[in-house]
Structure 1
Amino acid sequence: MKNSQQSSKKTLLSYMKLRMPAKYDFLLHLFVLILVLFGSLMVFSASQASATENVLSVVIACVKQVAFVIFSYIMMVSFANYFTMQRAKQYGNVIGFCFIALLAMTFLFDDMGTGSQAWIRIPLVITDISIQPSEFVKVFMIVIMAVNVERFFQKKVTWWMIVKYPVIFYAVFALLIAKQPDFGTLAILTAICGLCFLIPSHPTLRKYQKWLAWLIVIAVVFVLLLTSKFGSSLLKHIPMLDYMVGRFEASMNPFQDIYGTGYQLVNGLYAIANGGLGGLGFTHSTQKFGYLTQASSDYIFAITSEELGIIGLFIIVLGYGIVIYRLVYYALRTRSEGYKIILMGTAFYILLHFILNIGGVTGLIPLTGVPLLFISSGGSSLMSVMSAIGIAQAVISRIRRQSQT
Structure 2
Amino acid sequence: MRKKLHYLNYQILVPYLILLVFGWVMVYSASSDILLLNGLKASAYGVKQAEFDVFAVGVACFVFASKLSNFQNRKFVFPFLYLCFAMLILLVFKRIFKGNAAAINGAVGWIDLGPINIQPLEFAKLGLVLYLAFLLERRDGKIAPGTIFESLINPAIVSVFMMALVVVEPDIGGTAILFMITLVMFATCGVPTKIAVWWILGVLLAVLGIFFLLVKWNPSFLQKSYQYQRIMSFLHPFELEKKGGAQLVNSYYAIHNGGLFGVGLGNSVQKRGYLPEPYTDFILSIIAEELGIVGACIVVGQLFYLIWSIMEVGVHAISQFNSLVCFGVATIILMECIFNIGAVIGLLPITGVTLPFISYGGSSVVVLSAGIGLVLNISANERKKQEEAASVL
TM-score interval, normalised by the smaller of the two chains: 0.7 to 0.9
- 1:122 counterpart residue number: 113
List runs of 5+ in structure 2 lacking aligned partners.
Answer: 389-393
CA distance in 1, matches of 2:224, 2:8: 45
- 1:92 counterpart residue number: 77
Q: Which amino acid aligns with 1:389?
A: I
TM-superposed deviation, 1:262: 1.1
Does 1:178 pair with 2:161?
no
- 2:275 counterpart residue number: 292
Q: Using a 3 Å threshold, how does the CA distance of structure 1 residues 178 and 20 change in structure 2: closer, same or farther? A: farther
- 1:147 counterpart residue number: 134
Q: Which amino acid aligns with 1:44?
A: Y
CA distance in 1, matches of 2:152, 2:5: 31
- 1:265 counterpart residue number: 248
Does 1:60 pair with 2:47?
no
**3-state SS, counterpart of residue 242 of structure 2:** coil
Residue pair 2:137, 2:320 contacting (<8 A) in 1 also: yes
The within-5 A match list for 1:273-312 is: 273-312=256-295
2:310 to 327, 350, 359: 327
Q: Using a 3 Å threshold, how does the CA distance of structure 1 residues 356 and 185 change in structure 2: closer, same or farther? A: same
- 1:7 counterpart residue number: none
Q: Using a 3 Å threshold, how does the CA distance of structure 1 residues 156 and 285 change in structure 2: closer, same or farther? A: closer
Residue pair 1:227, 1:252 contacting (<8 A) in 2 also: no
* Moved segments of 4+, more than 6 Å: 237-241
Q: Which amino acid aligns with 2:63?
A: V
Q: Using a 3 Å threshold, how does the CA distance of structure 1 residues 83 and 355 change in structure 2: closer, same or farther? A: farther
TM-superposed deviation, 1:111: 2.5
1:81 to 53, 57, 67: 67
TM-superposed deviation, 1:30: 0.5
TM-superposed deviation, 1:36: 1.0
CA distance in 1, matches of 2:223, 2:66: 42
Q: Using a 3 Å threshold, how does the CA distance of structure 1 residues 224 and 240 change in structure 2: closer, same or farther? A: farther
- 1:336 counterpart residue number: 319
- 2:391 counterpart residue number: none
Q: Using a 3 Å threshold, how does the CA distance of structure 1 residues 148 and 21 change in structure 2: closer, same or farther? A: farther
TM-superposed deviation, 1:90: 2.3
Residue pair 1:247, 1:367 contacting (<8 A) in 2 also: yes
Does 1:360 pair with 2:347?
no
List runs of 5+ in structure 1 lacking aligned partners.
Answer: 1-16
TM-superposition CA deviations, 1:189-210 (whole Å, max 9, x none): 1111111110011xxx54xx75
Q: Using a 3 Å threshold, how does the CA distance of structure 1 residues 25 and 180 change in structure 2: closer, same or farther? A: same
Residue pair 1:226, 1:248 contacting (<8 A) in 2 also: no
TM-superposition CA deviations, 1:261-309 (whole Å, max 9, x none): 2111101111111111111111111111111122000100001101110
CA distance in 1, matches of 2:223, 2:328: 29
Q: Which amino acid aligns with 2:200?
A: I
CA distance in 2, matches of 1:46, 1:333: 39
RMSD between superposed Cα atoms in Å: 2.7
Residue pair 2:110, 2:117 contacting (<8 A) in 1 also: yes
1:31 to 15, 26, 39: 15
CA distance in 1, matches of 2:26, 2:45: 12
**3-state SS, counterpart of residue 309 of structure 1:** helix
**3-state SS, counterpart of residue 43 of structure 2:** helix
Residue pair 2:222, 2:228 contacting (<8 A) in 1 also: no
Q: Using a 3 Å threshold, how does the CA distance of structure 1 residues 241 and 345 change in structure 2: closer, same or farther? A: farther
**3-state SS, counterpart of residue 301 of structure 2:** helix
- 1:111 counterpart residue number: 102
Q: Using a 3 Å threshold, how does the CA distance of structure 1 residues 236 and 211 change in structure 2: closer, same or farther? A: farther
Q: Which amino acid aligns with 1:293?
A: P
TM-superposed deviation, 1:241: 6.9
TM score, norm. by length of structure 2: 0.87
Q: Which amino acid aligns with 1:50?
A: L
